[in-house]
Structure 1
Amino acid sequence: MTSITSENLLVELRRAAGVVGGIAAKLTDQDVAAASELPGWTRGHVLAHLVGIGNAMARQFEYASRGETIELYDGGVEGRNRAIELSAGHGIEQHRDALAAAVDRALTAFGSLDTAGWRKPISYRGGVVFDGGLALWRELTIHATDLGTGRGPETWSRPFCEYLVDFLSARVPEGERFVLQPLGLPSLAIGAAGGHSTAINGMLTDIAAWLAGRTPTLGSLRATAAADGVELPALLPWPAGVPVAN
């Protein structure tokens, strides 16, 4: 698995923010009102969610810098959902402005950190600021794909996919073990040692997309158990930091 440090995480955050900003720059009002890749959500919903998570993670840091913690969203899950619904129908200029402000706020916060700052406690998952940075990277990268503009999981980098596989190992059902065999790369196992074993063979990006509940785009996934072809295993729910679907 890849080893993400605070230095290369900041580089990845800036890159992911640039991708999302570039997509938003090309959207029209009609595009924003169209369906995204997420069931029941328009692209406006996805953009509104990205604004919310950007501000939420920035706020986690801002409070941590004062030695305090605060819930991820104002008003908890209900507040998060209400804010998305209220903003989803905005025009593209409003979305762009809000997205730029939220992302700049978060990047400024993370960019100002020293080594100790990355380790300060936050309320999100009972973790530290570094965990908040990983979450923002995850949200920006996956939701750039969810906007449905042609940037699929095949564009996800190897470091991101390796991080995502590690994070999403929590989706392996109890008593199961997945032996992941990404083409051209070393195999790795996630789940219970000694559990019922299923081998998943395919491109790393497809494996990561499947674990993330997204559609593999290179069509290469194949599952086997005891040398026989089987269906891809069922997964546990997304390990959300708040009890909402990701």
Structure 2
Amino acid sequence: MSEFGWMEAGGQYLARKVDAAVEAGLDGASQLPGWRRRHVVAHVACNARALSRLVHWARTGEERAMYPSREARDAEIEETARIPAPELAALSAECDRELREDLAGLSDLQWNTKVRTAQGKIVPASEIPWMRARESWIHAVDLGAGGSFDDFPDGLVDMLLSDVTAAMENRPQGPALLLVPLDRARTWRVHPGGRPDDADLVERVALVRGSAARLAAWLTGRGPAPEPGAPSIGPWL
């Protein structure tokens, strides 16, 4: 499945978990510290709007940041989270649909336009479907309404592992890891600072085994270490 396909499937998965969260109560605690379920729903709605700003940038050449500032992002989420539950669920679905429609209107040339993520990374607009797919699937789990990394498509899990380990390699510090998914024919490695030949790091590499889904959940801060003795890891974003 392509990134666009994962994005569409993620939107459907998210909508089902939002419905389950509404039934369970949006004022209940989510799996993200300090956030109720309604904050997670508000965040995914606001994220779709923010990514649509990047699509506008790619389509028109007029620069538009995802968010004016971290403070503005947080304020938008708080304001959106106050919307009554049925309307908030409908808004989440509407924003997701509008983003997909916006993306479908990009030309081949516009897909290559460089835009800037909320973390300041410069990427082509073709990265936006993956950014949204990642957001939809992971935050569907964060709702605490029955979602699980075990539900994720295998290809999506593999791309998450590649994405997160690449981000970890860009950090100057952190544990060196050899990730061995028991349900895959390949492994993933992390060499902090991108130093695969550092003899000291090679000696300290930690072997971590588990299912690919459990490894992805752990690396993204959504689950415990797959086995005892795994090193502590920092936030992935």
Residue in 1 aligned with 2:222? 214
RMSD between superposed Cα atoms in Å: 2.0
1:1-246 correspondence to structure 2 within 5 Å: 8-28=2-22, 31-73=25-67, 75-124=68-117, 125-169=121-165, 170-171=167-168, 174=173, 176-185=175-184, 186-191=186-191, 192-194=195-197, 195=201, 196-216=204-224, 221-222=226-227, 231-239=229-237
Is the contact between residue 171 and residue 211 of structure 1 (CA under 8 Å) also seen in structure 2?
A: no
- Inter-CA distance 213–65: structure 2 relative to 1 (3 Å threshold): same
TM-score (norm 1): 0.83
Stretches of structure 2 that go unaligned for 5 or more consecutive residues are none
Q: Which runs of 4+ in 1 moved over 6 A?
A: none
In the TM superposition, residue 209 of structure 1 has moved relative to its aligned partner by: 0.5
TM-score (norm 2): 0.86
For 1:157 and 1:123, how far apart are their aligned partners in 2? 27
Question: How many residue pairs get matched?
Answer: 222
Deviations 1:40-63 (A, max 9, x none): 101100000001100000110112
In the TM superposition, residue 117 of structure 1 has moved relative to its aligned partner by: 2.5
For 1:130 and 1:149, how far apart are their aligned partners in 2? 31
Is the contact between residue 181 and residue 215 of structure 2 (CA under 8 Å) also seen in structure 1?
A: yes
For 1:39 and 1:17, how far apart are their aligned partners in 2? 23
- Quick check: which one's helix share is greater? 2
Is the contact between residue 21 and residue 145 of structure 2 (CA under 8 Å) also seen in structure 1?
A: no
Stretches of structure 1 that go unaligned for 5 or more consecutive residues are 224-230, 240-246
For 1:175 and 1:79, how far apart are their aligned partners in 2? 31
